[in-house]
Structure 1
Amino acid sequence: MAQEILITTTENIPGKKYEVIGEVFGLTTQSKNVISNIGAGLKNIVGGEIKAYSDMLHESREKAIERLRDEAQKAGGDAVVMMRFDSGSIGGDMQSVVAYGTAVKFLN
């Protein structure tokens, strides 16, 4: 796992000067098993949160951030600024999540 790389959604980091390295991203695509899909279908009928899918999306976001940190470290970065998430469905049962931002290197 990457060293502790600071990740922020802001453009500036108070008290830090840095140079831009470039864009980095972390991507994951996951799906639920058949039993979870059946449970989600039943929950869709009665309404309410589909916990299995909420958990999957939370796990996907965490994995995407972990991969974003790895990419920033490989690029020689100390932090990622302007981090954002994007997600989308692939087919009917897969979810893709990407975390992206700009890797930066702190100046002395």
Structure 2
Amino acid sequence: MSHDDIIITTMNDLPGYEIVAVYGEVFGLVVRARNAFSNIGASFRTVAGGEVKGYTKLLTESRNHAVDRLKDSAREHGANAVIAMRFDCNDIGNVMSEVAAYGTAVTVRPL
């Protein structure tokens, strides 16, 4: 199955669908090391201000990867949707970034 077979929403329900089974929490987790040059650039940006494009790209890619893993986990549970999806982001030792996408795996059917 493709990754497009899982519907994801940040809402607690899915308009136009009925939840017919609940499987519980699922998550997708990504931990990535930061590039040393990005860390140096970030230090300069902290002083000067402005966007740190290297981190923006890193976190965007990490979120997308975490959502792909979330979909895989939902699929493994037999779900076709994830409701109440959220992101959680943390730093690990100032050298790694952790991104988790999580929610409740459910099976839905159109009304």
- TM (norm. structure 1) is 0.91
Identity percentage of aligned residues: 46
Give the C-alpha shift of residue 86 in structure 1: 0.7
Instruction: Calculate the aligned-residue CA RMSD, in Å.
Output: 1.5
- For these two proteins, the number of residue pairs brought into alignment is 108
Q: Please give the secondary structure, in 2, of the residue aligned with 1:17.
A: strand
Structure 1 runs (4+) deviating above 4 angstroms are none
Decide which of 52, 56, 60 is 1:58's aligned counterpart.
60
Deviations 1:35-65, CA, capped at 9 Å, x for gaps: 2212222222211111111111111111110
Q: TM-score, normalised by structure 2?
A: 0.89
Return the alpha-carbon distance in structure 1 between the equivalents of residues 54 and 47 of structure 2.
16
User: Helix, strand or coil: the match of 1:28?
Assistant: strand
Alignment partner of 1:67 out of 66, 69, 86: 69
Distance 2:61 2:96 in 1: 13
